[in-house]
Amino acid sequence: MPEKDQNFQKGPDVRGNMVKVNIDGDTMFVDANQYQPQVEHAKRLLRQKKLPKNPKPKEWQAKDYSLNKIADYKPFNFVDGEGVRCSLYVSGCLFDCPGCYNLAAQNFNYGVPYTKELEDQIIEDLGQSYVQGLTLLGGEPFMNTEVCLSIVDRIRKEFGHTKDIWSWSGYTWDELQKETDDKLELLSKIDILVDGRFMEAQKDLTLQFRGSSNQRIIDVPKSLKAGKPIIWDKLVR
Ligand code: SF4
């Protein structure tokens, strides 16, 4: 039998005021008297060191992952873009941004199936004169193109361009240019793209409609015409 380690002790590893903790596989010592705030601080630092995933062009295809599920639908809100909006949260995202605002919706199997009834409800809600448009979020709308193209095409059929369509995406504008036809089709049919992963190290809660300063609010029709991303002209900050 091996000799017992002289430093062996039962229970937590405590050295003076310091206690050893394991956070996401990394071990570190924190002051036992400041346990909670120090653990929270350590978690935040670790999240800042980790980065979201970076797919190669066309590596992630909606047809291979999407289950056409919806994490949530919020009609008549003021936070997901300009004016009063109806927001559709699709399920499934592979970017795995540390600090993601909607962890549950990263799962492609989360929520409920997208149905004709829900689509009819969205169209009815958008029909209210005070509603400016639809917002697609997630999860990742560009990994759920079947659902998103279905509602986008229906909106154009029922309302033309009198309602606008915003979409958030973990993909950047430049990445989307090298993507599959379904992603390019969705991009070509929306008005505003808020692009890029959420980066914890660049988090800034004072920004308009974005969580981190790397993300941009892009005017899609103008950008497609110019062949480069053009920032939304109503951007304040
Ligand atoms: S892209 Fe958005 S939904 Fe996907 S992991 Fe990042 S923050 Fe979460």
How remote is the CA of residue 203 from the centroid of ligand 1, in Å?
13
pLDDT at 129: 98
Ligand 1 atom closest to Cα of residue 95: 5
Per-residue confidence in pLDDT tens, the chain, 237 aa: 555 556 566 677 888 888 888 877 778 888 888 888 888 888 877 777 789 999 999 999 999 999 999 999 999 999 999 999 999 999 999 999 999 999 999 999 999 999 999 999 999 999 999 999 999 999 999 999 999 999 999 999 999 999 999 999 999 999 999 999 999 999 999 999 999 999 999 999 999 999 999 999 999 999 999 999 999 999 999
pLDDT at 4: 55
41 contacts 80 by C-beta, under 8 angstroms: no
Residue 41 has what pLDDT?
Answer: 83
- pLDDT of 24: 72
pLDDT of residue 7: 57
- Both structure tokens of 87: 């927001």
Nearest CA to ligand 1 atom 6: 97
Can you list the domains of the chain with their CATH numbers? 14-49 (no CATH), 62-226 (3.20.20.70)
Say what the alpha-carbon torsion angle 223, 225, 228, 230 is, to the nearest 10 degrees. Answer: -30
Best residue among 93, 167, 195 to mutate for probing ligand 1's pocket (most ligand atoms within 8 Å of CB) is 93
The span from the CA of 210 to the CA of 126, in Å, is: 24
- Atom 2, ligand 1: which residue's CA is nearest? 170
Which atom of ligand 1 is least distant from the CA of 137? Answer: 3
Task: Give me the torsion for CA of 69, 178, 170, 138, rounded to 10°.
Answer: -20
pLDDT, residue 6, reads 60
**H or E stretch including 44?**
helix 35-49
What pLDDT, on the 0 to 100 scale, is given for residue 106? 97
pTM: 0.84
Alpha-carbon distance of 134 to 207, in angstroms, equals 21
